[in-house]
Amino acid sequence: MTLATTFGIDGPALTARERSFHREADPWCFILFKRNIENPEQVRRLTADLRDCVGREAPILIDQEGGRVDRLGPPHWPAHVPPLEVAAGQGLDARAEALRTRYARIGADLAALGIDVNCAPTLDIAGPATHPFLRNRCYAEAAGEVAVLGRAVADGLADAGVLPVMKHMPGHGRGAVDSHHDLPRTDAPRPGLEAVDFAPFRALADPPMAMTAHVVVEAFDPTSPVTTSAEMIRSIRGESGFDGLLMTDDIGMNALEGAVEDRALRALAAGCDLVLHCNGNLQERERVANVLPPLTAAAAARADRALAQRPALKEAAHAR
């Protein structure tokens, strides 16, 4: 049975132990980072090896946002200015067209490597309190603009045959600290959150996959970050209308407390479909695999719906 997780790996090639572990654990998908990237031929070999481990066309994810969070870069792939700066000063239509073109090119680079899922668009709204780790990864400071530009990003990736993952639900822009190191909180009132922060996600409720935010939204749940909050996951499913595959942000980030396997279990208990384990070593991944269940029936159905889009996207991309 396919495990309800996404795993990273340690380096640019699978070790014998990693190969054996992934074959037995059977994670639903994999995610790549800079530590896994050397050159195009090596990445194509790695993506093929990962799929061979599990005996199926497992999704392979990456964070190629364009800008500071890029796993592919020179000399083999282009450098990108941060998304907030793309076509800055131009009208919304021009910015949207620039972003769609950019992400179609990014998607083509990924597809050529065997990477078929990109963790974008970022639908967080840049505001005065947004921590620098996130701010220039955003697209705009207004909810309506973020929705339009996020749609352009998702469409650009689809143009290249790559599935998008919108993030960080239901909005991370009010976070004043870096969730890699600390737990952000917001005490914004519920009406403001629903009218502003949540709005881009409602507008783009149709993408097949999304990622949670490690942030406490006190108006909904003052004790738990979104990733482990049943109340917030109900809001994402209900008020935001998202019925796709919901994965956590990296459970290894310091915004979450406790042993990593406990974090994983709390996220699934709250209603996330899939646990994203990006870093840590193989021993840690083994601990997570030992406690995680297979995908639930509901999660498996959402996963199947997401993967059903891949052939159509690839066929359309080839036709172009």
Residues noted as catalytic? 180, 249
Nearest C-alpha neighbor of 212 from the set 274, 155, 260, 163: 274
- Whether the CB-CB separation of 67 and 82 falls below 8 Å is answered with yes
Amino acid, single-letter form, for residue 215: V
